[in-house]
Amino acid sequence: MMSLGVDTGGTFTDFVLLDHGLLRIHKVLSTPSAPEQAILQGITEMGLMDAATSGELRITHGSTVATNAALENKGVKTAFVTNKGFADILTIGRQSRAELYNLQPRPRTIPVEKELCFETGGRINANGQETSPISETDITILIDAIKAAKPEAIAICQLFSYLDPATEKAIETALTPFAYVSRSSEILPTSGEYERGIATWLNASLGPLVKRYIDQLRQALFPANIAVMQSTGGTIDAKQAADHAVNMLLSGPAGGLSGARFMGNASNTPNLLTFDMGGTSTDVATIQGHIKLTTEGSIGPWPVAVPQVDMHTIGAGGGSIAYIDDGGLLQVGPESAGAYPGPACYKRTINNSNVQRNKNNNKPIQPTVTDANVMLGRLRPELFLGGNMTLDVNAAQQALQPLANQLNLSLTDTAQGIIDIANDHMASALRVISVQRGVDIQQFHLCSFGGAGGLHVCALADALQMEKALVPIHGGVLSAFGMLTSVTERQLSQSISGIIPTNINNRVNNSNTQRSPEKIQHYFDVLIAEGTKALQQEGIDKPSISVTCSLDLRYQGQSFFLNVPWTKYKTEYEKSALTTIAQAFHQQHYHRYGHALDIDIEIVNVRVALTGQQPSIELPTIPTQPTVEPTLTTEGSRIYQRSNLVAGQIIHGPALIAETVSTTYIDINWQGYIDTVGNILLTKNATPP
C-alpha cells in the first residue's frame, strides 16, 4: 500500500508520497477556509485519487485547523457546565499575570462569556464520595437553559469528576441531543479544575470545526484509510479525531519531530537539538532517542495540560519584520509579514499572477529576514521553489534601504545585522530548551528543517558552540514526511492520590494515604485495557501493541511534578519496586533543579502510552558516483543542486545547496558530508566520517 503524508500549513499544504521505496514531493497553496480542498487538489494533481478511493492509499494527515482556530479564538459557540458556585472557574483561572509589575495590565480574554456559563447540581468531594446527587429537576432546568442559549458545543467540568465520572456522564447523556458535548472526565481525568476545564472547553469549541472538515475529507476519499497526527507524535483514526480535537493543537510540529527522529536514526545521530524555522515562527525541541512530551504546554493564553511534544516557540521566521525601535536599535520580529503581503522580494504568487501587496499604497513595505537572505545572495532568485517563484532582488534592496540609511550602514551590513539578530533570538530559544534544562548539547547534533532552517544552521551552531549539525533530506517538508513515520497511539492518564512508602515492610495496608505496588498496578491495568480496546478498534493486533507506564511524582507540598518510568513488579512480595521509583525521582529532581529533599514523595497521576507497530519505512539510497561539480556564479560562489549530490561527497563552505523546498547555506569553516540517504552531516573544522 502506498503511504501519503500531508501537512496542512497556513500558507502551503505539503505532500510526501512513499511508493515502493520512492519518495515524491508536492506542494499546493492552502485553503484555510476549507482545508480539505487543498488536500483534495494535491491528491488529484499527484494522480492519486483513484488509489485513494480504491483503498490502496494510506493517508496520514497533520492539520493546523485546531491550532489556528484556538489562536484566533474562532471556535464555535460553546457553553460551559459546572457545579453550583463555580461558573467563573475559567474566567478566574490561576490569577497569574503576563506582566507581573504592570499595574494596569490588559484585560484577559474570557474563554466563555458569562451568559454561556451554567451551574447545576451534583457534587462529589475530594475522596470521590457523592455528597449531593444530581436530580431530575437539575437536569430539566439545565436542558431548558441550554435550549434557550443554543450553543453549538458544550463543555462539562464538574469538581473531582476524575474520581467518579457518573455525574458528568448523566449530564452528557441529557445534553448530547442538543449539541456537540465534551466532558472533562474523558478529555483529561486529572486534578486541577482550571486546566481540566480549559482542555475540555478547547476540545468542545474546536471539535465541530475539526469534525466538519474531516468528515468532508473522508467522504470525498472513501474508503481511503485516513489517520490524523496528534500533538504527541502519534496518530489516531480520522473517525475518532473530532472527539479529541484538543490533542491536535501541535499536529504539524509533532510531525516534524517524528520526521527528525527518523532521519537522525537513519544517520546514526539519535540525539538532536532541533529547530523548525518557517515563515512566521521557529519551533525548537530536543530528541534523545525519543520525542519528549510535556503536560505544561500552552496555546495562546490558555494552558494545555494534555500530553504534547515538549517544544518552545518564538516569533522568528523568514517573514519576521526588521525595524528600528524608539531607542534607535535594530530589532527583528515577532511581527511577521505573513503570506500577504509577505517579504518584499515576493512580488508574485506561486502561480506567477500579480498580487496587490499593500491595501495602503502609501505604507512602505517592511524588510524581513527573507529579504536579508536575498540581499546576501543566500536565496537565489532563479532557484527559489525550483524556479516556480521568482524573487525580486531590487524590491528587497528598496525595502532594506531606509533601515540602512537610519543605521548609516551599507545594504550588506544591514542585511547581515538582521540575520545576526534573528539568529540570536533562535539561539536563545535553543538554550531555553537545552542548556537551561541541564542538557549537554555537545553530545547533540543541531538539526534544522522547515523552509528557512538550512540558511541559519551553521550560524546557530557557532552561537551555541556546537560542532555537529544535521540537515535532513527533504527538510522543507519534513513535517509531512514525519506523518509517514508515526505510529498509532493512545496517551491515557488518571489522577490518584497517595504517598509512596519509604519502607515497604512497615507500610499500613489499610491506609488511604499509602500506595502499594499492587494498588498502583491496578490503575495501570484499567488504563491499559481501555487503550488496548481503542487501538484494536483501529485494526491494531493486541500482540503488536507496546505499553509504557509512568508516574507523575512530587515532593509532598509541591505544586509541580516530574514524570518517572514505572516497571511492573514481578511478584507480590517484591520490595524494591517503589524504592527504585523513589530513587529515580530523587535523581531526576536533582538533575532538573540541583537538589533533592529527604521528605515523602506524593503520587499525582498514573500515565500509560500505548503504541502500535512502527511502520516499516526505508529511505531510498542515493547513488555513489564521481563527485558532482558546483555551478559557479559570477561572484564565485559555489552552488549545488541537492538532487545531484552523491553519497560520500564532501562540500566545503562557503557554499549553497539548493532544492525545491529549501536552501542550505554551508558557512566558511564548515563542511558537509552527504550520507547514503542524502542527509547532510555538517562538521566544523573536522574530517567527517
Reference 668, options 511, 459, 496, 476; nearest CA is: 459
Residue type, 495: S
The domains of the chain are located at 74-211, 320-422, 489-611
pLDDT in the model for residue 175: 97
Q: Judging by DSSP bridges, how do beta strands 445-449 and 302-304 pair with one another? A: unpaired
Nearest-angstrom CA–CA distance, 108 and 251: 27
pLDDT in the model for residue 533: 94
Strand order in the sheet with 153-156: 117-120, 78-83, 153-156, 180-183
The DSSP code sequence of 521-582 is HHHHHHHHHHHHHHHHHTT--GGG-EEEEEEEEEETT-S--EEEEE---SSTT--SHHHHHH
For domain 74-211, say whether CATH 2.60.40 is its number. no
Express each pLDDT in 18-31 by its tens digit. Answer: 888 788 988 887 78
Mark residue 442 as left, alpha or beta (left: phi above 0; alpha: psi -120 to 50; beta: remaining): alpha
pLDDT in the model for residue 361: 43
pLDDT in the model for residue 319: 85
pLDDT in the model for residue 661: 82
Sheet strands (E) in 89-221 = 117-120, 123-124, 130-132, 153-156, 180-183
Nearest-angstrom CA–CA distance, 38 and 42: 6
Q: What is the mean pLDDT of each run of 10 residues along the chain (689 residues)?
A: 86 86 83 86 94 91 84 90 95 83 84 95 90 94 96 96 94 96 95 94 94 91 91 91 90 91 93 89 90 88 91 85 91 79 70 41 74 91 71 92 94 96 95 89 94 93 96 91 91 89 47 70 93 91 92 90 80 60 90 88 93 83 80 73 91 90 91 94 74
pLDDT in the model for residue 10: 67
pLDDT in the model for residue 571: 47
Bridge partners (DSSP) of residue 310 are none
pLDDT in the model for residue 358: 43
